[in-house]
Amino acid sequence: MPLLDFPPGDNATDTIINGVHFNLTTLRDWNYQYYSNQTVSNGTWDWCMIMAEPWTPTRILANGTFMNSTWCYTPTHPMGPRASVGMAFAVVFGIGIVLSLVNLDRHGRLHLPIEKRFYPVGRRWQWYFSIIACALAVAGLISNVDVDRMFLPELPVVFVSFFWYLIQMAAMAIVWESVRHWGSWMERQFIDADPFSLPEDGRRYRFELLIPLVFYAFLFLNFFLVFPRNWGPIQLQRSPEQTLLEAIPAATELRLKLGSFALFFAWIIVLISLRHTINEYLPRNRGLLNRSIGIIKLTPLRLHLLIFLSLVVVAYQAFVPWSWENSPMNINGNVAAIYLGGFLPSLLIVYVNIVAGFMRPNEDQELIRQRRRRGAEHDAQLRITKKPTWWRRAELAAAGPRPDQAQPLNPSTGPNTVEMGAMQRPNSNGSSNGSELPSPNPSRPRPDFEAYAGKSDRRRNERTMAAVAGMLFPTSDNGADYARRRAELMMDGPAPPPYRDNGDGRRQPSERSNSAASMASPAQQPKSMLDV
């Protein structure tokens, strides 16, 4: 920035700036210098004072401090056209955030089970990038207020430039995800009608797997060419000479020009993906002319608009490094060109996607509708007429009750009847209001038991479990019963009959040890082997 000599004063140690006297000796002792943009600084960032009216300090102290001074990087100017238009755009982008969230809920909600080949996040990416683009735009456009109001430009112009390049990337990602998801939606409709029509292998599957990687490779190439650089010189626009030496070379360097070419190749990938979708999932046309016409006719209108607007985004980003006057990095640039070419295409991309989202139904609901339509067509082919639900109710009402139809339970109609006779649930005292069901075995009386008269099944189960537990695991409460049962088990029973091993028993099988003859005969003595 060019330096100026201090204006002359009343004597050799005095200088007059905008009608205020300052001690020239003190200014020189503290290395203050007077610049052409009407500021005084000693080369440090925090010791820079505005000398222009009406912010001129009143005096300087011996320690180098100015009285009633204003810092150079203070917002002193009113909002200009750049800030006013930027705030209007920021409001519209802010509304876009809300509408994108509504569409995210509308199209991201699930009405069918998740399929392995079509994850829900695939149809949500376009809305994620819409929200990101709107948020970046709001942050960058609000910074335009300080670009207009700062006495000397500083970080706000860097923020505007930084966020503007990010908006371009997010807008291209919106277009890509819209085109890619349209192809995925075409594929899903094919598979829903015939699951074996499109296998998960082959050239088509590999192409759809790799082409997103190619697109994002070019998109990140644009990022790495544009962003990893020194953004500091962009704010050095504090004088015409400094702008020419520092800011313009930084805003028109080779990396920015190459980055726009990377973005253009990403746009070409979008066209290739669109052509692949039409070729694979829509009727094919013969001939180059017919195919070109088919691409135009078969592509939805929203994709036509998105692709055209994305081309404008790429063209303006390529134009900016060659034209400093129309660059968003220029604090005194052409406001109409900056907003019409730099921000309006991205805004239209967001809103075209939003309007199309409100016009389209949820994909799961659309699949349900298509399944119902196919079911109706199949019924028509099989000559199956599906009657409305009220038809059967009217038919039953006209026919009257059938003899085999179960009658409703009503206590006033009498006891429940079964084939063997009438029966009723016993009361708590064991009696019944009606006749009881006869026992299938009259010779064997029924065991006496005390029925639980309550209505709680849980309490009934607890009483049953307690009774069984008392029988299996006796405790001290029924110790007498336990001792009695143990004594009975330990008592000796009758002696077993004597062992008899003689030939009569083997020769006469009819004679048994329990017969009367064997009981009357004396016990036989076993013989020794020496007697044989």
> C-alpha 397: how far from its chain's center?
51
pLDDT tens digits for range 12-39: 888 888 888 888 889 888 889 998 888 9
Q: Please give the Cα distance from 214 to 20 (Å, whole number).
A: 65
CA distances 56 to 284, 500, 515, Å, are: 76, 141, 143
pLDDT of residue 449: 45
- The angle at the Cα of 223, spanning 105 to 118, to the nearest 5 degrees, equals 35
pLDDT at 303 over 80: yes
* More confident site: 529 or 249: 249
Query: What is residue 381's predicted lDDT score, i.e. its pLDDT?
Result: 84
Give tens-digit pLDDT for 164-196.
Answer: 999 999 999 999 999 999 999 988 888 888 888
Residues in a beta bridge with 60: 66
- Mean pLDDT is lowest, of 128-132, 163-167, 234-238, 452-456, for 452-456
Name the average pLDDT for the chain: 81
Show Cβ contacts of residue 157 under 8 Å, excluding neighbours closer than 6 positions: 143, 147, 234, 235, 237, 329, 331
Of 164, 177, 263, 166, which is closest to residue 218 (Cα–Cα)?
Answer: 263
Quick one: pLDDT at residue 281?
84
pLDDT value for 435: 43
Q: How confident is the model at residue 485 (pLDDT cuts 50, 70, 90)?
A: low
Whether residue 504 is predicted with pLDDT greater than 60 in this model: the reply is no
Integer angstrom CA distances of residue 353 from 167, 174, 219, 309, 515: 15, 8, 20, 12, 107
Residue 208 has pLDDT above 80, yes or no: yes
Tell me: the pLDDT tens digits for 38-93?
899 888 877 888 888 888 998 888 888 889 888 888 888 899 999 999 999 999 99
Residue 531 tokens read as 């007697």
Q: What is the pLDDT of residue 512?
A: 46
Are 94 and 172 contacting, i.e. CB atoms less than 8 angstroms apart?
no
Q: What are residue 242's phi and psi, to 5 degrees? A: -65, -40
pLDDT in tens, 316-371: 999 999 999 999 999 999 999 999 999 999 999 999 999 999 999 999 899 999 98
CA gap 394, 70 in Å, rounded: 90
Confidence of residue 134 (pLDDT cuts 50, 70, 90): very high
Predicted pLDDT at 119? 87
Neighbours of 319 (CB within 10 A): 15
Lowest-pLDDT range of 7-11, 142-146, 270-274: 7-11
pLDDT of residue 516: 47
List the chain domain ranges. 3-67, 81-236+249-376
Share of the chain above pLDDT 70, in %: 75
- 141 in Cβ contact with 86 (< 8 Å): yes
CATH number of 81-236+249-376: 1.20.1070
Closest of 266, 102, 105, 58 to residue 175, by C-alpha:
266
- Phi, then psi, of 320 in degrees rounded to 5: -60, -45
pLDDT tens readout for residues 370-419: 989 988 888 888 888 777 777 777 666 666 565 555 555 554 444 444 44
Average pLDDT of the segment spanning 296-321: 94
Residue 425 has pLDDT above 90, yes or no: no
Q: DSSP string covering 38-97, please?
A: SEEESSSSSSEEE-STTS--SEE-TTSPEET--BTTSB-SPP-HHHHHHHHHHHHHHHHH
Ranges 68-82, 281-295, 306-320, most confident: 306-320
Of 509 and 356, more confident: 356
User: Residue 474 and residue 130: Cα distance in Å, rounded?
Assistant: 74
The β-bridge partners of 34 are 4, 40
Mean pLDDT of 499-526: 51
Q: What percent of the chain has pLDDT over 90?
A: 40
Q: What is the pLDDT of residue 400?
A: 59
What pLDDT was estimated at residue 12? Answer: 84
- Contact (CB, 8 A) for 302 and 353: yes
pLDDT value of position 294: 75
**Mean predicted confidence (pLDDT) in 113-117:** 84
Residues, the chain: 532
